């Protein structure tokens, strides 16, 4: 499994000018290849091959391997559309890029060397702030310009295989939500970071300011930059938070079950609005690669009915988004709804690996002792932060 390391770059003025010029060339090349492919298709009924595009991409002034990856990207995107259309799925043709949309240059193997500075062909040595050590073998480098104007080097790394540690700690299920970031099957909760909410409020007000500025005016550009900066802050804070939480979870537990990312429609139903897929995938990915090193097992389970089902007697207890408490009429279990879901998720995970949790097996109906067996958990006050992480 690959992981990425992202470091801020501090190019000199002339380097930055040259790098921006290369982004422009990358955009032009991409558009040129796309135009060629479309023309070729309308004339001959065939799309050009990867090899054709690769040949056509030569001599555009970009680093040779970067050029090649652009040719591959165009070719792949065309064939993806082609395949989908063949299956009868409607989808748009790959888009022509404006300069705003091409933000990165990819170096698939060669052309860069990392020492105290980052040496990249043809820009030379660029100052870099390496706040972490890269562990493993570097596969690719991407030079990326964020909308805030900051440059980053993103290294894709194949981690070294380490002996997994053995770990006999507690097993948990994790219910991810919007109001509370995660509720654990043992009743613990992980709230959303408060400062994120503050940034998001600021983002909303900056966006409003931006919407009132005249198109093409200087003030609009300034407002645009403000939005980009706060957006970047949010995305950094969010990724920091996800790193912290995932590290802590894999170190504290030996087994973590969580839901597979359901279809969009399902997540809408469950969370009231769409979850941010990128954030979810990022978190799932972090858990996966960190778990391996920590000797923890991560399992993804079917999300169907984890909220409705009673974790004690397995009866379906209907609830809508506003019902915060699971109150089971058949066995009498009263428990926070997310806690109930987290227990269901854990049980499904355990079943997947052929284990069951004895204390949450279905109970016989109705006796007082049974009711006591279903642990009642005091409800905590919700941390009133709601965000699409
Ligand atoms: Zn029940």
**Token pair for residue 163?**
């002996």
Pairing of strands 124-129, 118-120: antiparallel
How many angstroms is it from 348 CA to the middle of ligand 1?
A: 17
| Whether residue 178 has pLDDT greater than 70 | yes
| Whether residue 364 has pLDDT greater than 70 | no
How many angstroms is it from 361 CA to the middle of ligand 1?
A: 11
How many angstroms is it from 366 CA to the middle of ligand 1?
A: 10
How many angstroms is it from 275 CA to the middle of ligand 1?
A: 29
Pick the CATH number of 166-190+242-383 from 3.30.420, 3.30.70, 1.25.40, 3.90.1200: 3.30.420
How many angstroms is it from 309 CA to the middle of ligand 1?
A: 8
Residue-wise pLDDT tens digits, 280-300: 778 888 898 888 888 899 999
How many angstroms is it from 267 CA to the middle of ligand 1?
A: 24
How many angstroms is it from 173 CA to the middle of ligand 1?
A: 18
How many angstroms is it from 346 CA to the middle of ligand 1?
A: 16
What is the predicted pLDDT for the residue at 369?
38
**CA–CA gap between residue 227 and residue 6 (Å, rounded):** 21
What is the predicted pLDDT for the residue at 361?
44
How many angstroms is it from 212 CA to the middle of ligand 1?
A: 54
What is the predicted pLDDT for the residue at 153?
95
What is the predicted pLDDT for the residue at 384?
27
How many angstroms is it from 370 CA to the middle of ligand 1?
A: 10
How many angstroms is it from 333 CA to the middle of ligand 1?
A: 6
| Whether residue 143 has pLDDT greater than 60 | yes
Q: Name, in order, each residue with C-beta under 8 angstroms of 363's C-beta and a sequence gap of 6 or more.
A: 312, 313, 331, 370, 373, 374
Cβ proximity of 340 and 307 under 8 Å: yes
How many angstroms is it from 302 CA to the middle of ligand 1?
A: 20
How many angstroms is it from 363 CA to the middle of ligand 1?
A: 9
How many angstroms is it from 258 CA to the middle of ligand 1?
A: 21
| Whether residue 334 has pLDDT greater than 70 | yes
**What number is the average pLDDT over the span 122-149?**
90
Domain ranges for the chain, please list them: 3-158, 166-190+242-383
How many angstroms is it from 374 CA to the middle of ligand 1?
A: 9
Residue-wise pLDDT tens digits, 1-10: 678 899 999 9
How many angstroms is it from 181 CA to the middle of ligand 1?
A: 25
Cis peptide leading into 122, omega within 30 of 0?
A: yes
What average pLDDT does the structure give for the chain?
Answer: 81
**CA–CA gap between residue 251 and residue 256 (Å, rounded):** 11
What is the predicted pLDDT for the residue at 174?
93
Span of 75-79, 306-310, 332-336 with lowest mean pLDDT: 75-79
**What number is the average pLDDT over the span 201-217?**
88
Residue-wise pLDDT tens digits, 348-363: 999 998 876 555 444 4
Span of 93-102, 206-215, 226-235 with lowest mean pLDDT: 93-102
Q: What percent of the chain clears pLDDT 70, i.e. is strictly above it?
A: 82
| Whether residue 171 has pLDDT greater than 60 | yes
| Whether residue 54 has pLDDT greater than 60 | yes
| Whether residue 270 has pLDDT greater than 70 | no
Distance set, CA 313 to CA 162, 171, 306, 317, 329 (Å): 42, 21, 13, 10, 10
| Whether residue 345 has pLDDT greater than 90 | yes
| Whether residue 269 has pLDDT greater than 60 | no
How many angstroms is it from 332 CA to the middle of ligand 1?
A: 6
């Amino acid at each position: 499994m690959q992981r990425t390391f992202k470091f801020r770059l501090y190019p000199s003025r002339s380097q930055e000018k040259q790098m921006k010029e290369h982004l422009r060339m990358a955009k032009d090349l991409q558009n040129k290849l796309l135009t060629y492919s479309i023309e070729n298709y309308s004339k001959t009924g065939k799309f050009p091959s990867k090899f054709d595009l690769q040949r056509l991409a030569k001599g555009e002034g970009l680093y040779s391997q970067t050029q090649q990856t652009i040719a591959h990207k165009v070719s792949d995107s065309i064939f993806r559309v082609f395949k989908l259309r063949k299956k009868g799925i409607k989808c748009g043709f790959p888009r022509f890029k404006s300069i705003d949309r091409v933000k990165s240059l990819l170096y698939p193997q060669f052309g860069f060397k990392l020492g105290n500075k980052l040496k990249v062909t043809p820009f030379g040595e660029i100052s870099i702030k390496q706040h972490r050590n890269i562990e493993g073998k570097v596969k690719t480098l991407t030079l990326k310009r964020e909308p805030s104007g900051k440059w980053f080097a993103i290294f894709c790394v194949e981690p070294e295989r380490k002996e997994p540690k053995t770990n006999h700690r507690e097993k948990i299920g994790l219910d991810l939500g919007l109001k509370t970031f995660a509720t654990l099957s043992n009743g613990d909760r992980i709230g959303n970071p408060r400062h994120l909410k503050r940034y998001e409020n600021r983002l909303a007000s900056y966006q409003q300011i931006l919407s009132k500025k005249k198109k093409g005016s200087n003030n609009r550009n300034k407002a645009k930059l403000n939005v980009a900066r706060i957006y970047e802050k949010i995305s950094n804070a969010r990724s920091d938070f996800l790193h912290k939480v995932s590290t802590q979870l894999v170190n504290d537990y030996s087994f973590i079950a969580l839901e597979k990312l359901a279809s969009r429609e399902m997540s809408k139903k469950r969370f009231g609005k769409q979850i941010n897929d990128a954030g979810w995938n990022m978190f799932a990915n972090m858990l996966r690669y960190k778990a391996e090193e920590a000797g923890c097992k991560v399992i993804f389970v079917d999300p169907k009915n984890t909220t409705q089902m009673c974790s004690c007697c397995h009866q379906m207890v209907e609830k809508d988004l506003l019902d915060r408490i699971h109150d089971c009429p058949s066995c009498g279990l009263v428990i926070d709804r997310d806690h109930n879901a987290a227990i269901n998720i854990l049980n499904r995970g355990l079943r997947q690996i052929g284990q069951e949790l004895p204390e949450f097996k279905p109970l016989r109906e109705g006796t007082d002792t049974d009711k006591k067996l279903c642990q009642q958990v005091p409800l905590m006050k919700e941390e009133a932060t709601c965000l699409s992480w």
